[in-house]
């Protein structure tokens, strides 16, 4: 009789490693991004006196992008792994899964301890504010939620089969609450960050301000060189130091306004689409439509005696 040749068993360890890494990596990304978005929303709702609002808006947009990408990947991998576990129950006791789950528990526990420590230290220093308490609450809720969920998930493998339905129902309710929280946070963040059209328009207006600032520097340099203001911006092109690179709007192609007002002062102007943000300080703050800015080249003197306008920086 022919001897039966044993079939080589293909190891499932690489597949398990891939699946669980693809589950936990987006989880960490989405968790940190969601925390960043919530922090930015708190900063925008309760702004500090020295806060840069534009920086918070930019940070908020990056956070939204990360959540929108990472969280659906996490949900998809979570569903896929649940289906795999239903077909192969032994996957639930995979060493890779247990290692990554315990790592998540460790990170969550450390976050809770650090959060409480920071809260106590800040309380003792008498510097507790509403925005600080809200940020502490965000970290505590996120870390505690992850800790409880994954601790129950580990214990679920050890309980009696009769408890399986109750644990699953609780887990599904918690997961549904998480999805609702992420959706609500993302929608709110979109409202604070503004539409993509507004973001694009703000960048265009910021470029107009940058162009006017460069023109003003060139005109001041021309005054320091010639002792007078140029009659037109084209006159600045005779010297590489005073050369004006952008004389017209990059979008509309309309020339920027340049007008000599007196022997030592001139006006610059451009048409802006949106007004500056209320918190935006500086000489170049503008409204929508045509805005002009008058600059006196002799208002201040630099260390070398050259005219330097305080409005350009």
Query: What pLDDT is attached to residue 89?
Result: 67
Nearest-angstrom CA–CA distance, 23 and 173 = 20
Mean pLDDT of the chain: 81
Give the pLDDT band of residue 266 (cuts 50, 70, 90).
Answer: very high
- pLDDT confidence of residue 37: 92
What is the per-residue pLDDT across 224-240, written as a single tens digit (0 to 9) for each? 888 899 999 999 988 88
- Give the model's pLDDT for residue 64: 93
Sorted by where each begins, the domain ranges of the chain are 13-194, 197-312
> Mean of the pLDDT values across residues 208-225?
93
pLDDT at 213: 94
State yes or no: pLDDT of 312 exceeds 50.
Answer: no
Q: How far apart are CA 174 and CA 67, in angstroms?
A: 19
Within 8 A by CB and 6+ apart from 152, the residues are 167, 170, 171
Q: Are 271 and 250 in contact (CB under 8 A)?
A: no
pLDDT higher than 90, residue 214:
yes
Is pLDDT larger for residue 158 or for residue 260?
A: 260
Token representation of residue 152 = 């129950």
Once rounded to an integer, what is the mean pLDDT over residues 205-225? 93
Query: What is the reported pLDDT for 4?
Result: 55
Reply yes or no on whether the pLDDT at 168 is more than 70. Answer: no
The angle formed by the CA atoms of residues 294, 205 and 289, to the nearest 5 degrees, is 65
Mean pLDDT along residues 256-277: 92
At 36-88, the pLDDT tens digits run: 999 899 988 887 766 777 788 888 999 999 999 999 999 999 888 888 777 77
> What integer pLDDT is reported at residue 12 of this predicted model?
60
Q: What is the DSSP letter of 298?
A: T
pLDDT in tens, 3-18: 555 554 544 677 778 8
């Amino acid at each position: 009789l022919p001897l039966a040749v044993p079939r080589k068993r293909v190891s499932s360890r690489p597949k398990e490693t891939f699946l669980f890494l693809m589950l936990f990596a987006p989880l960490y990304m989405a968790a940190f991004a969601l925390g960043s978005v919530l922090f930015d929303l708190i900063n925008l709702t309760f702004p500090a006196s020295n806060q840069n609002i534009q920086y918070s808006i930019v940070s908020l947009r990056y956070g939204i992008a990360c959540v929108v990408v990472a969280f659906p990947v996490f949900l998809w991998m979570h569903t896929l792994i649940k289906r795999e576990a239903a077909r192969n129950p032994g996957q639930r006791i995979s060493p890779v899964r247990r290692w990554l789950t315990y790592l998540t528990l460790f990170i969550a526990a450390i976050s809770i301890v650090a959060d409480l420590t920071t809260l106590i230290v800040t309380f003792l220093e008498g510097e507790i504010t509403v925005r600080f308490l809200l940020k502490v609450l965000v970290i505590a809720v996120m870390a505690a939620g992850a800790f409880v969920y994954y601790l129950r998930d580990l214990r679920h493998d050890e309980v009696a089969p009769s408890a399986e339905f109750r644990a699953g129902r609780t887990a599904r309710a918690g997961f549904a609450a998480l999805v609702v929280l992420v959706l609500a946070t993302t929608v709110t963040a979109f409202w604070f960050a503004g539409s993509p059209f507004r973001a694009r328009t703000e960048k265009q207006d910021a470029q107009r301000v940058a162009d006017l600032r460069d023109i003003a520097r060139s005109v001041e340099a021309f005054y320091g060189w010639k002792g007078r203001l140029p009659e037109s911006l084209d006159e600045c092109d005779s010297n590489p130091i005073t050369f004006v690179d952008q004389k017209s709007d990059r979008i509309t192609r309309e020339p920027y306004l340049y007008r000599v007002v007196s022997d030592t002062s001139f006006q610059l102007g451009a048409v802006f689409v949106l007004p500056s943000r209320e918190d935006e300080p500086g000489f170049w703050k503008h409204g929508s439509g045509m805005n002009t800015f008058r600059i006196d080249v002799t208002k201040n003197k630099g260390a070398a005696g050259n005219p330097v306008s305080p409005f350009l920086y």
